[in-house]
Amino acid sequence: MNGARSFLELRGVVQRFGEVVAVDHVDLEVRRGEIFALLGSSGCGKTSLLRIIAGLESPEAGRVLLAGRDISALPPHRRPVNMMFQSYALFPHMTVAQNVAFGLRQDRLPKAEIAERTDRVLELVQMAGLRDRRPAQLSGGQQQRVALARSLAKEPQLLLLDEPMAALDRQLRAEMQYELAEIIRRVRVTCIIVTHDQEEAMVMADRLALMHAGRVVQTGPPADVYARPNSRFSAAFLGRVNLFEGRVQAVAGEELVLDLPELGGPVRVPASGAVSAGQPVCLALRPERLRLSREPAAEADRPERVVVEDAGFLGSQVHYHLRLDSGRLVDALVPGSSELAGLEHGETAWISWAPRDAVLLAE
Amino acid sequence: MTAFGRRLRLLITGIPFAWLLLFFLLPFVFVVKISLAEAQIAIPPYTALLARVDGHWQWQATLENYAFLLSDRLYLLAYLNSLKIAALSTLFCLLLAYPLAWAIARAPQPARNVYLLLVVLPSWTSFLIRVYAWMGILGSNGYLNRLLLSLGLVDSPLPLLRTDFAVYVGIVYTYLPFMVLPIYTSLVRLDYRLVEAARDLGAPAWRCFASIVLPLSRAGVLAGCLLVFIPATGEFVIPELLGGADTLMIGKVLWQEFFNNRDWPVASAVAILLLALLLLPMLLYYRQQAADSAPGRTVAGG
């Protein structure tokens, strides 16, 4: 156990639906006050995990601990946990203010206190002016604010957000990611957000857990998981990546010599972890970490000759598909302002990379 | 809109309109007309409203039949008793139908259709036969009494048939599907995440029901209550076959006036008053519906 730092703790949680294992022995620790993202594609078990934390589903095995207390056996209405549902689940027959006050009314607080706290939380999400509207009279973005206000009104110890941006259009989504995270940080609530959108997770979360097939693949701050993926799955899920399959040719002190058929000749990388000669490995290179040049770089950098296959102009960046001599296509990103932004189809160029930018994946 | 489109629309809306005019409004007008006449032993058994007296056309409408209905306590009691039996039957139907509809609406899909089929299945046999079946069950030598006797719960057969109890059983049994189906329809459309959200916000199960499920299925409950209450009030067959001689219901009175007394004008007045009585809950229902779809509850654009 991670001592005082872990606020929510899941231990060996298993959930099955018939034959399908939705959650497969998950252990997880969320720290007090952080925004934690459960990231994964649909069906990876992240929503089941969230519902288990909320108490809406009871796991087959495992325990849920909140601030050291085992809440596994508590029904949802007894847990100091509130959830903002996907597409919000606002009560259609109640006004905005009644929706927000609903949770407070369940606690039988004095009327004046309910009114005061409802006002405060509506103010927080800037919805005080629309307090007497019904959900059907609100736009998607306004509904989201009301849903957030409703789940914050009871000042839960833990806030759960289930795909909070899924019902918004693209432009609003990008704006709300920052605003939502800002509001959550302002009220200092510990928050778990479920999303399939890596950008959303990276923008909003302090730490994230990448999930696949009911298991947690990797946990850590977004920048760390991005820079140091621990598996092919992590590397490919979070951002674009070029993966080169091969094997370890030799271990030479601090360096490994890799045989990667798609890159000509042996490749040297700093030794990392326990790998032995002959072991199959995979080298991951982020497209923006590839250095592109018109002339070959110094021999020490092992430049590779490439031919430009096509170029996509993304505004701030240019996305190239480059063909290596081996016939393998690689992705490369260069800043749109760079003098290399103008390469055209068929032109020859060179790529190289710093050894520290290459990540060796043993799995 | 083109002239052709206008004409097409007129035709499409015109057909049901003409249908209602011909088969509902016109007979209704006849009944009103008869209720304003006097009974006589002739064919037809009532006087004309316009008669030629001493070479002049004379208007002979009278409200005497209505005055008679209001002056005789029998009719008043029959109306009140019908309303009571219909109201209680509606309540029993509601109490039975709501949990049933909930269970069906929450059942997994293939089973759900089977359950729905089971609800409507009895109405595939003749209504009359099903009422007769209840006579076989409730009679003093019926299945129920024989069961009670063989279990030793009673010493002599209970008088079940020809009582108000049997009338309630018959009405609740017959009209249950009309209560189940509209409630099911509103419950199956209910987004279950709303219930989960209420649970999550601290509501125990019964408060979820009272403040989320029930208000959101109100339209189905109201529709079901009307579908049971209105025909049950005028019910004739069930009190006639299952009820006792003292079971006073307006449908029975109506029948007796028409066929036993051959007093068509009084019978017509009974029918018109019944209609007026039933118009009240209908009007309340429509007001409710209008309030539900008024601005503020509709889906507003933007």
Per-residue pLDDT band at B296 (split at 50, 70, 90): very low
User: Could you tell me if residue B33 is inside a domain?
Assistant: no
Question: Block means of pLDDT (10 residues each) for chain A, length 363 residues?
Answer: 72 93 95 96 94 95 95 95 96 97 95 96 95 95 96 96 92 91 95 95 96 96 94 92 91 86 84 81 92 83 88 91 93 90 90 89 79
Closest CB to A134: pick one of B197, B199, B296: B296
Q: Which two tokens stand for residue B132?
A: 């007769």
Burial tier of B141 (Cβ tally within 10 Å: 0-12, 13-18, 19+): exposed
Residues on chain B touching A82 (C-beta within 8 angstroms): 200-201
Single-letter amino acid, residue A237 = F
Do B201 and A82 lie within an 8 Å CB cutoff? yes
Interface check A293 vs B, CB under 8 A: no
Q: According to the model, what pLDDT value does residue B294 have?
A: 62
pLDDT digits (tens, 9 = 90+) for B186-220: 999 999 999 999 999 999 999 999 999 999 999 99
Q: According to the model, what pLDDT value does residue B1 have?
A: 60
CA angle A98, A100, A104 (to 5 degrees): 95
Q: What are phi and psi of A305, to 5 degrees?
A: -80, 140
What region does A322 belong to: left with phi over 0, alpha with psi -120 to 50, or beta? beta
User: Could you tell me if residue B79 is inside a domain?
Assistant: yes
User: Could you tell me if residue B187 is inside a domain?
Assistant: yes
Per-residue pLDDT band at B300 (split at 50, 70, 90): very low
Closest CB to A93: pick one of B196, B199, B215: B215
Residues on chain A touching B203 (C-beta within 8 angstroms): 77, 102, 106
Residue B293: pLDDT above 80?
Answer: no
pLDDT digits (tens, 9 = 90+) for B37-57: 988 888 888 888 888 888 888
Q: Alpha helix (H) ranges present in chain A?
A: 46-54, 96-106, 111-124, 140-152, 170-186, 198-204, 222-227, 232-237
Do A106 and B212 lie within an 8 Å CB cutoff? no
Edge to edge, the sheet with strand A61-66 lists A20-31, A6-17, A61-66, A69-70
User: Could you tell me if residue B132 is inside a domain?
Assistant: yes
Instruction: Nearest chain A residue to B202 by CA: give it.
Output: A77
Q: For the residues B246-255, what does the mean pLDDT come to?
A: 90
User: Could you tell me if residue B128 is inside a domain?
Assistant: yes
Q: Beta-strand (E) ranges in A206-270?
A: 207-212, 215-220, 242-252, 255-259, 266-270
Residues on chain A touching B198 (C-beta within 8 angstroms): 91, 102
Instruction: Nearest chain B residue to A139 by CA: give it.
Output: B302
- Contact between A351 and A296 under an 8 Å Cβ cutoff? The reply is no
**In this structure, what is the dihedral angle of CA atoms B253, B254, B258, B260, given to the nearest 10 degrees?**
-20
Instruction: Nearest chain A residue to B207 by CA: give it.
Output: A106
Residue B146: pLDDT above 60?
Answer: yes
Closest CB to B194: pick one of A81, A91, A134: A91
Closest CB to A82: pick one of B200, B298, B302: B200
Interface check B294 vs A, CB under 8 A: no
Residues on chain A touching B293 (C-beta within 8 angstroms): none
Q: Which of residues 312-331 of A touch B (CB under 8 A)?
A: none
| Chain B nearest CA to A76, separation (Å) | 5
Provide ipTM, 2 decimals: 0.86
- Contact between A234 and A217 under an 8 Å Cβ cutoff? The reply is yes
Instruction: Nearest chain B residue to A159 by CA: give it.
Output: B200
Range of the domain at B175: 66-292
User: Could you tell me if residue B24 is inside a domain?
Assistant: no
Closest CB to B200: pick one of A83, A134, A137: A83
User: Could you tell me if residue B117 is inside a domain?
Assistant: yes
| Chain A nearest CA to B188, separation (Å) | 16
| Chain B nearest CA to A4, separation (Å) | 27
3-class secondary structure per residue, B214-269:
HHHCHHHHHHHHHHHHHHHHCCCHHHHHHCCCCCCCHHHHHHHHHHHCCCHHHHHH
Interface check B151 vs A, CB under 8 A: no
- Contact between B248 and B80 under an 8 Å Cβ cutoff? The reply is no
Q: According to the model, what pLDDT value does residue B297 have?
A: 45
Edge to edge, the sheet with strand A207-212 lists A81-84, A158-162, A190-195, A35-39, A207-212, A215-220
Q: Which of residues 192-211 of B touch A (CB under 8 A)?
A: 193-194, 196-204, 207, 211
User: Could you tell me if residue B92 is inside a domain?
Assistant: yes
Do B197 and A139 lie within an 8 Å CB cutoff? no
Closest CB to A85: pick one of B197, B298, B299: B197
Do A106 and B299 lie within an 8 Å CB cutoff? no
CATH of the domain at B124: 1.10.3720.10
Residues on chain A touching B200 (C-beta within 8 angstroms): 54-56, 76-77, 81-83, 151
Do B300 and A137 lie within an 8 Å CB cutoff? yes
Strand-strand pairing, A280-285 and A329-335: unpaired
Q: What's the rounded Cα separation, in Å, for the pair B162 and B228?
A: 22
Q: Report the number of distinct structural domains present in chain B.
A: 1
